[in-house]
Each structure stands twice: as structure tokens, then as C-alpha cells.
Amino acid sequence: MQLPLLDAWQNGLIVDLKGKARSVGKSQLHRNLYPVDAVLLKGEPLRVVTQRVDMKGRSLRWLVDNLKANHGYYLLGEIYVDADKVVNVSQIESYHPVIWGGNTVKLHYARAEDLREYLNLTAIRGEVVVQFWLRPGDEGVELSFSGGGKADSVPGVLDGMF
């Protein structure tokens, strides 16, 4: 089985397994996948395109519901929330695309389906990076948010100066 490599993580790798980020490495204890044998093959070059999204005052549900893109994507970043939640520490050292630690939600190669239990969290501050991986010949990225976006406007005093 060939799996796209996303990143290195804690002396192992993060791979895409059927659309989900999973860790692979020597230790069975802190990995989602424990390979018996592995070969690294050079694939076609990819171009990574990123878009930063200011999350202040916005929920993860807003991000998922309004993110319209013509390519698959990964979400990375950190947002700060005003909420209390009991964090499951049974596998705290294992790789998880979403980690909630007190008032911080960290995203590391997360996809929309990984955010299911966090969708109603609203950020006090923070940003999310939307990362697209394009193969040669892929169309350019079209990223748009429908509604709720902050419009960039020039104040009337400065109108016509630029």
C-alpha cells in the first residue's frame, strides 16, 4: 500500500491513510500504524499552497461550513477558546490531528471530519492555515468563503490616495 507522506513527527512520519492523517513509526506505543516493512518511493513533485484564516470570533463550524475549495486540504494552526473540557489523556503522546489542551485547540493536518466534536468552539484569537497539495497539472486553487467574511475596505478619508 502506498501512502502519501505529510510530515515528520516525533521520530516517525505522518501519512495520509484513506484521507486521514496517521502516524507511522518504530514504536507501537505511540503510533497509529506500526509497519513491519516500509519502502520510501520518490513520487511526483507537489506544490503546497497555503491560505491563512483569522479565526477571531469565528467557530470551527464556520470554517468547515464556509470553506469552499476545488481541492482537498489540510488544516493546521492554533486557536484559543474560552471553554473547559476534560481532555482524554490515555493516549496523550499518540498523534492526533486535533488536540484540545485547556483553552487551546491545535490542528495538525486535520480534515473537516476530524473537527466533529469541536465544531461549536469559537476562537478568542488564533488562525488556521489551509494547506493545499497540488500535483503537476492540477488546476490552481480557488479558495473562497461564502458569507461572514470580513471585507477589506478603504476608509473614506483614504479613498483615492492609493
Q: For the whole model, what pTM was predicted?
A: 0.69
Cα 21 to its chain centre, rounded Å, is 10
Domain range spanning residue 42? Answer: 5-139
Is 150 part of a structural domain of the chain?
no
Is 41 part of a structural domain of the chain?
yes
pLDDT tens by residue, 2-23: 788 888 877 788 888 888 888 8
Q: How many domains does the chain have?
A: 1
Cβ–Cβ < 8 Å for 101, 87: yes
Is 125 part of a structural domain of the chain?
yes
Is 146 part of a structural domain of the chain?
no
- What's the confidence (pLDDT) of residue 117? 86
Is 156 part of a structural domain of the chain?
no
- Under the banding of pLDDT at 50, 70 and 90, the label for residue 124 is very high
Q: How far is CA 130 from CA 12, 34, 55, 84, in A?
A: 23, 28, 12, 26
Neighbours of 7 (CB within 10 A): 14
Is 49 part of a structural domain of the chain?
yes
Is 147 part of a structural domain of the chain?
no
- What's the confidence (pLDDT) of residue 29? 64
Q: What is the distance between the alpha carbons of residues 125 and 89, in angstroms, rounded to a whole number?
A: 25
Is 105 part of a structural domain of the chain?
yes
% the chain with pLDDT above 90: 16
**Who's near 153: CB < 8 A, 6+ residues apart?**
none
Give the residue-averaged pLDDT of 72-76. 88
**Who's near 65: CB < 8 A, 6+ residues apart?**
none
Measured over the CA atoms of residue 102, residue 104, residue 109 and residue 113, the dihedral's sign is: positive
Strand partners, 141: none
pLDDT tens by residue, 29-72: 667 676 767 777 788 888 888 889 999 999 999 988 887 767 77
